[in-house]
Chain A
Amino acid sequence: AQTVTQSQPEMSVQEAETVTLSCTYDTSESDYYLFWYKQPPSRQMILVIRQEAYKQQNATENRFSVNFQKAAKSFSLKISDSQLGDAAMYFCAYRSADSGYALNFGKGTSLLVTP
Chain B
Amino acid sequence: KAGVTQTPRYLIKTRGQQVTLSCSPISGHRSVSWYQQTPGQGLQFLFEYFSETQRNKGNFPGRFSGRQFSNSRSEMNVSTLELGDSALYLCASSLFAGEQTQYFGPGTRLLVL
Contact = CB atoms under 8 A, between A and B. Distances in A.
B104 A45 contact: yes
B75 interface: no
Interface in A6-22: none
Contacts of B105: 44
Contact of B98 (A101, A103, A108): A101
Interface stretch (B18-26, B40-48, B64-72): B40-48
Nearest to B107: A43
Q: How large is the interface on A (under 10, 10 to 19, 20 to 34, 35 or more residues)?
A: 20 to 34
Given A46-B104, A100-B55, A102-B56, A107 B42 contact: yes
B90 A100 contact: no
Contacts of A91: 43
A100 B43 contact: no
Counting chain A CB atoms within 10 Å of each CB, which of B43, B48, B90, B98 scores highest?
B43
Nearest to A37: B104
B88 A95 contact: no
Contacts, number: 53
**Contact-residue bracket for chain B:** 20 to 34
Nearest to A44: B106
Interface in B35-58: 35, 42-43, 45, 48, 55-56, 58
A39 B71 CA distance: 28
Given A42-B106, A100-B56, A101-B56, 18 more contacts: A33-B99, A43-B88, A43-B106, A43-B107, A44-B107, A45-B92, A47-B101, A47-B103, A50-B101, A91-B43, A97-B98, A97-B99, A100-B55, A101-B97, A101-B98, A102-B58, A103-B43, A104-B45
